[in-house]
Amino acid sequence: MYFLSFETSTKIFSIALSRDAKVLRYRNIKAALVLEDAILPAMDKLLGSAGIKFDQIGGFAIALGPGSFTSLRVGLATVKAFAAATGKPVVGIPTPDIIAGAVHGISCDEICVINDARRNKVYACLYGADGRRKSDYALASLEDILGKVRGTTLFTGDALCMYRQNIEQAYRQRVRGNTAHKCLFAQEKYWYPQSKVMAGMAYERFARKQYDHAASLVPLYLYAQDCQVSFKRNEKAGIR
């Protein structure tokens, strides 16, 4: 089965074309804001380079965030429209899972994904070294997150561009020579969610027929006011 994976939650718009477990083509595009007029041309170019027509696509995957409010809504609305028009299945995958999926297997006790949520907060989630989630998705201060990590922790996510030095300083103050507690940092190329990583997760869902209901699929919002705005807009549009 051919399927498309879309990631629109960060400033790196990412799209991949896969056939079953194999990623055939992918693109990562830096964009301040992902809009529909950027998604469709990128998709057409990707399909054209592989010689695949849109009507050959058997499913769609979309990243759910948390992340950019507008870009998430545009990406999800586009994929939901594709699913509604074609009758093909769709799966949604939280963005932190995708980021963690790119670095699992590195020697550590746990993985901590931290993405910039602005307002001096981060979107965060903890994973085992195997990439399996072991905490809730959180909106919190960096200090709160550092209070939860244990052992040798691999940090990744775009918040590292702002908070890496803070993390290193916190570990120096806390650890005081205790080598049982260390902080490691993923390379910058792994800080952003990649559609080629997401595609592998999506394929596992497709293979097990664990589809999401497109009409009720919503982004993962952690700011309460974002949820309220989303609900009000959907209500006005007649969407439940």
Domain boundaries, the chain: 2-96+193-236, 103-190
74 vs 180: CA distance, rounded Å: 44
Same fold for the pair 2-96+193-236 and 103-190: yes
Which of 230, 215, 235 is CA-nearest to residue 80?
215
Candidate CATH numbers 1.10.150.120, 2.60.120.10, 3.30.420.40, 3.30.70.920; the one for domain 2-96+193-236: 3.30.420.40
* 78 alpha carbon, distance to own chain's centre: 17
Q: Is the pLDDT of residue 239 over 70?
A: no
Which neighbouring-strand residues pair with 27?
15
Q: Is the pLDDT of residue 138 over 50?
A: yes
Sign of CA dihedral 74, 75, 76, 81: positive
In this prediction, residue 144 has a pLDDT band, given cuts at 50, 70 and 90, of very high
Between 174 and 118, where is the model more confident?
Answer: 118
In this prediction, residue 123 has a pLDDT band, given cuts at 50, 70 and 90, of very high
205 vs 121: CA distance, rounded Å: 31
| pTM of the model as a whole | 0.89
Which of 64, 50, 116, 72 is CA-nearest to residue 93?
64
Confidence at residue 79, expressed as pLDDT on a 0 to 100 scale: 96
103-190 in CATH: which number?
3.30.420.40
In this prediction, residue 230 has a pLDDT band, given cuts at 50, 70 and 90, of very low
- Which of 27-36, 42-51, 60-69, 227-236 has the least mean pLDDT? 227-236
Confidence at residue 232, expressed as pLDDT on a 0 to 100 scale: 42
> What is the bridge-based pairing of β-strands 138-140 and 122-128?
antiparallel
Phi and psi (nearest 5°) for 87?
A: 75, 15
In this prediction, residue 30 has a pLDDT band, given cuts at 50, 70 and 90, of confident
**90, 61 contact by CB (below 8 A):** yes
